A and B are shown apart, each in its own frame.
Chain A
Amino acid sequence: MKRFEFVEASSLAQAAKLAAQPNGAVRAGGIDLMDLQKEHLAEPDRVISIRRVPGAAEIREEGGALVIGPLVTLAQLASHPVALAKWKAVAVAAGEAASPQVRNQATVIGNLLQRPRCWYFRNELLQCARKGGPDCLSQEGENRYHAIFENKDCAIVHASNVSPAAMLFDGSVKTVKADGSRREIPLAKLFVKPEVDITKEHVLEAGEVVEALVLPAKAGGDHSSFLAAREKSAFDWPLFSLAVRLEMSGNVVKAAQIVFGAAAPTPLRREKAEAALVGKAIDEATARAAAALCFEDATPMTQNGYKVAMGTALTARAILAAV
């Protein structure tokens, strides 16, 4: 790890200002940043901690929306009674991430913004397309953990558990930039597809600091679910994950939202399947039919065809679980 200067910011605006100077990095929980530093994938000269920023570790309800501060940990969110009741999939997703130790330290925002786990990307010796190299090395290489959708240019899978669940609620992030200006970015616009810019996963600018994740209340928040398949029961990223929210009228679906996590480079809405569920009562057959629709456009690679079968099963189960 390269040596760096450690600074504690007293406000998020100050952190943004400091981080905008060349080679600065903002640190909240520090989990992914530390990994990136150890692997020489991030070599900041100055690390700006926001640990001392007052109020940043709070979860609030504001005008019916859940507002999650930048120091709120995954563990905090996972056990938050209101979140569990009304934004169930989000709380469950937070509780399914990483390990108990990591969840006590890692932040929800950090989970959203973490860099991909692709083994070519994480290997400092290899220059993959995302790091400015000529090719996505997984195309011809080991791709068992890689994307089964939108994987032609770069086959990373989106690493966050929280984001697919948060997208069910049309969540957004509020940010502050180095010049003190503020903006709100819907999650649907936050993440960047490889075809747009292969080197970044989100649209935040240098020094732009997230002040909060905002989750509006939605009908069916209690009818939402998150499911993931992993190789290990803890301390592992999903092989496949998804979140589902159903708005029910009696036993009939009024509206549905399905978002895949670890399946494509960014969280992936499955509108066709969502539409197919509307007006139907959920049973095993409708769940399976909708699940099958979700994978019509899958383009599995040489080693990850298993994810289609696995994903189809998990999708059907998540739909059934959301009822």
Chain B
Amino acid sequence: MPPRPRRPRPLSVVGTSPPRLEGAAKVAGTARYVDDLEFPGLLLGRTIRSTVPRGELLGWSMGRRPRGLHVVSAADIPGRNAIALLEPDQPCLVRREIRHAAEPVLLLAHEDRDALASVAVELRERPRKAQLDVRASRSFCKEILIEKGNLSRGFARADRIVEGEYTTGHQEQLYVETQGVIAVPEKDGVTIYGSLQCPYYVQKALVELLSLPPERVRIIQVETGGGFGGKEEYPSMIAGHAALLALKSGRPVKLVYDRSEDMLATTKRHPSIVRHKTGVRRDGSLTAMQIDVLLDAGAYVTLSPVVLSRGVLHAAGPYRCEDVQILGRAAMTNTPPNGAFRGFGAPQTQFAVEVHMERIAEALGIDPLELRRRNALRPGDTTATGQRLGADCSALPCLESAVRRSRFVARRRAIEKHNAKARVSGGPLRGIGLALFFHGSGFTGAGEVKLASRAALELTPTGARILVASTEIGQGTRTILSQIVAEELGWPLSRIEVADPDTREVPDSGPTVASRTCMIVGEILRRCAQSLKRALGRMTPRQYLAKNGPLVVTEQYDRPKSMHWDDVHYRGDAYGAYGYGCDVIELEIDPVTAEVRPAEVTAVQDIGRAIHPVLAAGQIEGGTAQGIAFALAEEVVMRDGRMANAQLTNYAVPTPLDTPPMQVEILEFPYGHGPFGAKGVGEMPIDGPSPAVVNALRHAGLDIRDIPAVPERIAGLVDSMRGAAT
């Protein structure tokens, strides 16, 4: 029997759903975003970009220059011409070598928008042959090998071997607010106001670029209209550009992309090609999994090595298998670099494994539900890296709950009957699909130890003020962190304030990524609250401040003692905790027009503890909608290394009408080292929908292995299906 969720002590703030702290300002339109900010003497910036996917920059010429125009080229960079992240390979501005289309070459600034737009710049580019095919690329920025047990032994024990190849395309994050920053020159440095996820990443990049000490590079996050990973690394680029213009002109510079520039130039989800070769016994048990993961990194390294890492660590899905080999490679091409996007490699690899599981069931002639039941990870099992899972491993409970709630078995039977008739009448077909998945919270392996994140609480006369670099990007950071602190202190929520993320004011609590804000930073803050409570004793904050003066308590990430990770051999405890989830999706398919309409969705996800159930359910609904669109609608059309449909009229993101009713259930299998048991919730919801959709299409008779399965692609299959039937 799987363990039942434990009910810890009753809580009064955590587990409730108060209005989000910045919600009223956003609804009333008083929240101020970058483009709302004005500074005296403000200039507007513009970026001139390469037009060829690969080549050499020979020079440039400019038509009439309006008075007051400022121009910045690579020669104006005081420090190193690179965006400091994992590798220093990506220049801030092209000096000579062009590696992708829309690569920044020159920066212009002027106070008048029309004058700025009127400047005609001609780049002299000598094109060279570009590598646009990831399969043909032999240049890898990262290779990772995971080995467990003995693969040949595993295959020898198999009754059947099932192979398959699955591919996924680019996906645009499509935050509502496009990328934007303002750089303000200071007496001895620069201040950046930006729409961003990770203030300290931007600081690190600018320190190198501008050759300034960190204390002279101040980064302030302003209200941010969504990120989804897209504002993890790119803000370092655009902030670098604005800062260079500001330092050269001596005036504040605003650089805000329009939608088209944002889609053309910034990072997207890595396209993937994943191959599976799996040994299975007749009863369905997996004896060997050989998985090959290839990601298209694009033209520069950016975060690809870590995206690949998360990708391979999730490539075997939430399944038990003793003999596993996973080989991951991230290959370079001459397309704009791909980067962080909600899920970070895991949606791609779990799409492959979950669609492959369906093929295995088919090959064996057994029920795909039974196949998953047999192989789902249980407490005490080990993952591909040998991580032994604790009592919070909830793959089976998620599966069973989703099957029950969606009436999966009965619906499947009813749909098969319906389809038998519809195939004769030509009416709409239906399909139901299921996907089981998991998602590790926080940085991989030793990543959290290296980050050594810090968080602080400052005592105020009426309560406490949270000091963290974790940003609110629409997901509810401010509210849930306040809830955690209030709960620990036993105070009402109204006594907690949150400082704006400003590198001059808040400690480096790490980036706002990887589903780590609640679980990792929330726990550090909970410990801060514990210390604060101890320090206060029986005194009120006002009494304490009167007697002892100001008080700030700071805590640092503390690795759970039992956690070990070998980064060289990819062995050990890859993540502190895993959330689990199971999605069931029912589709209606018009066999003639090839329109696919998601009809019903059941999403059951274990997130340890819902600090704010409404926000958590919102994350699940939003991620699920984004995941369905990843499977069915969102297609980045690349032509000559450049996005051909960088417009919202041609890049289809779902509207509310395209989003089906969703039944969300949150399970709580608490994690001992998360605040009040919480694991991450931000990314996991996007792992399940795409395989569930494709499995539902398969159930209706459509053999899809590549997404997005846009109508044109489905139309071809419908024809071939009809051809086969007649």
Chains A and B form a bound pair:
yes
A residues engaging B (CB < 8 A)? 1-3, 38-40, 99, 117, 119, 122-123, 141-142, 144-145, 229, 231-237, 239, 303-304, 306, 309-310, 312-314
User: What total count of A-B pairs have CB within 8 Å?
Assistant: 76
Residue-by-residue, is B646-683 near A (CB-CB < 8 Å gives 1, otherwise 0)? 11011011111110000000000000000000000000
Which one, B144-152, B348-356, B415-423, B590-598, is touching chain A?
B590-598
Cβ-defined partner of A144 (8 Å) among B653, B658, B712? B712
B92 CB to closest chain A CB (Å) equals 23
A67 CB to closest chain B CB (Å) equals 31
Are B644's CB and A119's CB within 8 A?
Answer: yes
**Given A142-B639, A306-B711, do A314 and B655 touch, yes or no (CB 8 Å)?**
no
- Cα–Cα, bound, A175→B362 (Å): 65
Are A141's CB and B652's CB within 8 A?
Answer: no
Are B639's CB and A141's CB within 8 A?
Answer: yes
B residues engaging A (CB < 8 A)? 113-114, 117, 258, 260, 590, 592-595, 633, 637, 639, 644-647, 649-650, 652-658, 710-712, 715-716, 719
List 16 A-B residue pairs with CB atoms under 8 Å apart, sorted by A's residue number: A2-B114, A119-B644, A119-B647, A119-B649, A123-B260, A142-B644, A142-B645, A232-B633, A232-B652, A233-B655, A236-B652, A309-B715, A310-B594, A310-B715, A312-B592, A313-B593
Are A303's CB and B712's CB within 8 A?
Answer: yes
**Given A38-B258, A310-B593, A313-B592, do A232 and B655 touch, yes or no (CB 8 Å)?**
yes
B321 CB to closest chain A CB (Å) equals 39
Cβ-defined partner of B593 (8 Å) among A38, A229, A237, A303? A229
> Which residues of B lie under 8 Å from residue A38 when comparing CB positions?
258
Are A234's CB and B593's CB within 8 A?
Answer: no
Residue ID in chain A nearest B719 by CB atoms: A309
Residue ID in chain B nearest A311 by CB atoms: B593
B48 CB to closest chain A CB (Å) equals 12
Are B114's CB and A306's CB within 8 A?
Answer: no
Residue ID in chain A nearest B593 by CB atoms: A310
Are A306's CB and B715's CB within 8 A?
Answer: yes
> Which residues of A lie under 8 Å from residue B114 when comparing CB positions?
2-3
Q: 5 more A-B contacts (CB under 8 A) besides A231-B633, A310-B592? A: A39-B260, A145-B650, A231-B652, A235-B655, A306-B712
> Which residues of B lie under 8 Å from residue A144 when comparing CB positions?
712
A320 CB to closest chain B CB (Å) equals 13
> Which residues of B lie under 8 Å from residue A304 when comparing CB positions?
712
> Which residues of A lie under 8 Å from residue B655 when comparing CB positions?
99, 232-236
> Which residues of B lie under 8 Å from residue A122 when comparing CB positions?
647, 649
> Which residues of B lie under 8 Å from residue A235 when comparing CB positions?
655
- Cα–Cα, bound, A1→B654 (Å): 27
Q: Which 8 A-B pairs have the closest CB atoms?
A: A233-B657, A313-B592, A306-B715, A234-B655, A231-B652, A234-B657, A310-B593, A233-B658
- Cα–Cα, bound, A119→B651 (Å): 10
- Cα–Cα, bound, A308→B346 (Å): 38
- Cα–Cα, bound, A95→B649 (Å): 19
B69 CB to closest chain A CB (Å) equals 17
> Which residues of A lie under 8 Å from residue B710 when comparing CB positions?
231
> Which residues of B lie under 8 Å from residue A145 when comparing CB positions?
650
Are A3's CB and B715's CB within 8 A?
Answer: no
Residue ID in chain B nearest A314 by CB atoms: B593
Are B649's CB and A237's CB within 8 A?
Answer: yes
A172 CB to closest chain B CB (Å) equals 29
> Which residues of A lie under 8 Å from residue B654 when comparing CB positions?
232
> Which residues of B lie under 8 Å from residue A99 when comparing CB positions?
655
B433 CB to closest chain A CB (Å) equals 21
Cβ-defined partner of B592 (8 Å) among A39, A117, A309? A309
Are B649's CB and A117's CB within 8 A?
Answer: yes
B711 CB to closest chain A CB (Å) equals 7
Are A234's CB and B658's CB within 8 A?
Answer: yes
> Which residues of A lie under 8 Å from residue B594 when comparing CB positions?
306, 309-310
- Cα–Cα, bound, A138→B521 (Å): 51
**Given A229-B595, A236-B652, do A119 and B645 touch, yes or no (CB 8 Å)?**
yes
Scoring A145, A232, A234, A239 by chain B CB atoms within 10 A of each residue's CB, the highest score goes to A232
B178 CB to closest chain A CB (Å) equals 13
- Cα–Cα, bound, A258→B395 (Å): 55
> Which residues of B lie under 8 Å from residue A3 when comparing CB positions?
113-114
A255 CB to closest chain B CB (Å) equals 27
- Cα–Cα, bound, A145→B711 (Å): 11
> Which residues of A lie under 8 Å from residue B719 when comparing CB positions?
309
> Which residues of B lie under 8 Å from residue A117 when comparing CB positions?
649
B31 CB to closest chain A CB (Å) equals 20
- Cα–Cα, bound, A67→B646 (Å): 39
- Cα–Cα, bound, A119→B644 (Å): 8
- Cα–Cα, bound, A40→B258 (Å): 12
Residue ID in chain A nearest B637 by CB atoms: A142
- Cα–Cα, bound, A145→B637 (Å): 13
> Which residues of B lie under 8 Å from residue A141 when comparing CB positions?
639, 644
> Which residues of B lie under 8 Å from residue A312 when comparing CB positions?
592
Residue ID in chain A nearest B655 by CB atoms: A234
Residue ID in chain B nearest A3 by CB atoms: B114
Are A239's CB and B117's CB within 8 A?
Answer: no
- Cα–Cα, bound, A234→B649 (Å): 11
- Cα–Cα, bound, A40→B715 (Å): 36
- Cα–Cα, bound, A1→B298 (Å): 32
A150 CB to closest chain B CB (Å) equals 21
> Which residues of B lie under 8 Å from residue A40 when comparing CB positions?
117
Scoring B114, B653, B655, B712 by chain A CB atoms within 10 A of each residue's CB, the highest score goes to B712
Are A119's CB and B650's CB within 8 A?
Answer: yes
B726 CB to closest chain A CB (Å) equals 15
> Which residues of A lie under 8 Å from residue B649 when comparing CB positions?
117, 119, 122, 236-237
A236 CB to closest chain B CB (Å) equals 7
B660 CB to closest chain A CB (Å) equals 10
- Cα–Cα, bound, A56→B488 (Å): 62
> Which residues of B lie under 8 Å from residue A239 when comparing CB positions?
711
> Which residues of B lie under 8 Å from residue A232 when comparing CB positions?
633, 652-655, 657-658
A200 CB to closest chain B CB (Å) equals 21
> Which residues of B lie under 8 Å from residue A309 when comparing CB positions?
592-594, 715, 719
A29 CB to closest chain B CB (Å) equals 17
- Cα–Cα, bound, A276→B710 (Å): 34
- Cα–Cα, bound, A2→B590 (Å): 45
> Which residues of A lie under 8 Å from residue B650 when comparing CB positions?
119, 145
- Cα–Cα, bound, A119→B633 (Å): 17
> Which residues of A lie under 8 Å from residue B633 when comparing CB positions?
231-232
- Cα–Cα, bound, A3→B633 (Å): 36
- Cα–Cα, bound, A186→B657 (Å): 36
Scoring B114, B657, B710 by chain A CB atoms within 10 A of each residue's CB, the highest score goes to B657
Residue ID in chain A nearest B659 by CB atoms: A233
- Cα–Cα, bound, A99→B355 (Å): 34
Residue ID in chain B nearest A227 by CB atoms: B593
Residue ID in chain B nearest A120 by CB atoms: B644
> Which residues of A lie under 8 Å from residue B639 when comparing CB positions?
141-142
- Cα–Cα, bound, A141→B645 (Å): 12
Residue ID in chain A nearest B654 by CB atoms: A232
- Cα–Cα, bound, A2→B657 (Å): 34
- Cα–Cα, bound, A309→B712 (Å): 11
A38 CB to closest chain B CB (Å) equals 7
B380 CB to closest chain A CB (Å) equals 46
- Cα–Cα, bound, A174→B440 (Å): 65
Residue ID in chain A nearest B632 by CB atoms: A231
- Cα–Cα, bound, A115→B114 (Å): 24
Residue ID in chain A nearest B718 by CB atoms: A309
- Cα–Cα, bound, A99→B658 (Å): 12
- Cα–Cα, bound, A181→B424 (Å): 61
A11 CB to closest chain B CB (Å) equals 31
- Cα–Cα, bound, A40→B117 (Å): 10
Residue ID in chain A nearest B713 by CB atoms: A306
> Which residues of B lie under 8 Å from residue A236 when comparing CB positions?
649, 652, 655
Residue ID in chain A nearest B710 by CB atoms: A231
> Which residues of B lie under 8 Å from residue A229 when comparing CB positions?
593, 595
> Which residues of A lie under 8 Å from residue B258 when comparing CB positions?
38
B241 CB to closest chain A CB (Å) equals 20
- Cα–Cα, bound, A128→B711 (Å): 27
